[in-house]
Amino acid sequence: MTNRQNVVITGGASGIGAAAARCFAGAGYAVAIGYHPADPHDPALVLEDIHGEGGVAAAFPVDVRDTGQVAAFLADAAAQWGRVDHVIANAGILRRAALGDLTDDAWNEVIDIDLTGVMRTVRAALPYFPEAGGSVVAVSSIVGANYGWAEHAHYAAAKAGVLGLVQSLAQELGPRGIRVNAVVPGTIESPQSLDATHSLGQAGIDQQAALLPLAPRTGTVEDVAAAIGFLASDAAGFITGTSLLVDGGLGTVSPR
């Protein structure tokens, strides 16, 4: 077994997850990239970048809706590197549906991936954390954590749920030395937010960027990856059960 720390990331082939994979690899971690084969994101591109820089990474297919697949992902990553030091529960989907159109199936799909998927991922990692230490960073959202969003009630409920999950798991896993935190991204340019059907699209992203104290800066996936990297690192050794807002100051803006 090596002393190199390793990290497991769900949704690691695109957006925030891919940026986190590159960030961790650049900082010397071995990275297990979980990718969802049904999605159009190619983990080979992320692996190529990381390996090109001399980093250590491998990709594993996983659908976080499937308990068996999540267990296999964590077991495979642990088999590769001997243990799992850090878990980044990042996989998520965003769907637009007005309440009248929000079928049980539509509700359950978002909750299953965005909330239950986080629980499944952390649960599957339990046998593989080091004897003392380790960390979890879950990806919540300003939607649910700080705001509501019409036609996105299921997403908001899931992302709010992630915060409750994080607080409870921080208590439960603290005695094992495992820290559990969340990042709360604001609007970040990524495949999810660029989807104009379910999210803001480019025009909506630009409109919101103009409101920020840091205007006209748009949030990048690297901004969130850096916050995830901090929460997982030893520098955050006394931080658990909390969340880190990465929103460019959106929350400070009063309605005009």
CA distance 136 to 122: 7
Catalytic residue status for 147: no
Q: Is 171 exposed, middle or buried (0-12, 13-18, 19+ CB in 10 A)?
A: exposed
Amino acid at 16: I
**Catalytic-role residue among 29, 35, 128, 155:** 155
CA distance 84 to 73: 11
Task: Give the residue from 234, 198, 114 showing the smallest Cα distance to 163.
Answer: 114
**Residue ranges in contact with ligand NAD by CB under 6 A:** 10-11, 13-17, 36, 39, 41, 62-65, 90-94, 113, 139, 141, 185, 187-188, 190-193
The answer to whether 245 and 142 are in contact (CB under 8 A) is: yes
The DSSP symbol for 99 reads G
Enumerate the active-site residues: 155
